[in-house]
A = this chain, B = another copy of it.
Amino acid sequence: MTQVKTAKFTIIKDHICKMIESGEWLQHSKVPSENVLAEQFSVSRMTARRALQELTEQGLLVRTQGAGTFVATFKSQSSLLEIRNIADEIQDRGHQHHAQQIELIAVDVNHELAILLGLKEGENVYYSEVLHFENNEPIQLEQRYVNPKLVPDYLQQNFADITPHEYLSSEAPLTEATNEVEAVLANHETCSHLLIDSTTPCLQVKRRTWSSKGVVSLAILTAPGDKYRLGSHLVF
C-alpha cells in the first residue's frame, strides 16, 4: 500500500470542485481571489493561481483580469465528440480488423473536387479507396483524395506502394482539420462494397486536412449506422 503524496494545488482544486458541486458556490458567484486562497491554504500565490488556472482550462471557472474569478455557467461548456480511427475502435471492442485497398490511382479533379481541395480543375490528385473489415464483415469505406504537392517527397516517388497508414502519417502535425458528420444514404457503389442495400442509413464523415500551404487531403468515411457509431465520455 503505497501512500501517494497529493500536490498542494490539487487539494485546492478539489476543494473548489466540492464547493461548486455541493451548490455552495452558485453560477456566476465570485470565487476567492488568488491571494485569499493562498492565505487560506497556507501556500504561495502562484500555487493557488495554478489551481484556479487549471479549473479555468477545464471550463469550470471564468477569469477576468482586474475583476476576479467566477463560477462558469453550464452554457459556456460545449459537448465534444471524439472521432476515433476505426481500426483502434474495432480493436478496443476485441474484434478482428483488417483493411483492403480497393483502388489507388491518380485522377484529374472535377469541378466539385477542385473547390473542396482548393485546386484548379484538371489538376492531379491521388485517389484511394480502402475497405475496413470487422471480423471479415465490411464496416467502413474510406475514400481519400490527396494533394500530391503537399505530400512528402519520399511518398510521391513510390506512390503505388503507399499504405493508408502512410497517408495519415504524411500529414504534418501542424495542421487544421474541418470535420462534418452527416447521415446519408450511400450510393450504389458504396452499398455494394459494404454489402448493404440502398435504404440503409449511413454515418458519413468528411474531413478536410489543411497545412499552412493549403488543403492536404479530403477523406470521406462511410459506415452503416447499425454497425458503427461515434461516442464519447466526458467530464465537465
Contacts and interface: CB of A to CB of B under 8 A. Distances in A.
Interface of A: 17, 20-21, 23, 27, 57, 60, 71-75, 77-85, 168-169, 171-185, 199, 201-203, 207, 211-212, 224-225, 229-236
Contact of A79 (B21, B174, B179, B235): B179
Contacts of A231: 178-181
Contacts of A202: 183, 201
A215 to B, nearest CB: 13
A236 B71 CA distance: 28
Tally of this chain's copies:
2
B20 A178 contact: no
Nearest to A209: B236
Contacts of A179: 79, 81, 230-234
Given A83-B81, A179-B79, A212 B173 contact: no
A111 B144 CA distance: 43
Contact of A203 (B78, B171, B181): B181
Given A183-B203, A203-B182, A230-B180, A236 B80 contact: no
A172 B23 contact: yes
Contacts of A80: 80-83
A209 to B, nearest CB: 9
A124 to B, nearest CB: 23
A182 B74 contact: no
Given A181-B230, A183-B225, 14 more contacts: A57-B57, A71-B173, A74-B169, A74-B173, A77-B173, A78-B82, A80-B80, A80-B81, A81-B179, A175-B236, A176-B234, A181-B203, A183-B203, A185-B201
30 contacts: A20-B172, A27-B169, A57-B57, A73-B169, A73-B173, A74-B172, A78-B82, A78-B83, A78-B84, A80-B81, A81-B181, A173-B236, A174-B236, A176-B235, A177-B236, A178-B231, A178-B232, A179-B230, A179-B231, A180-B230, A181-B181, A182-B225, A182-B229, A183-B201, A183-B202, A183-B203, A184-B201, A184-B225, A185-B199, A201-B202
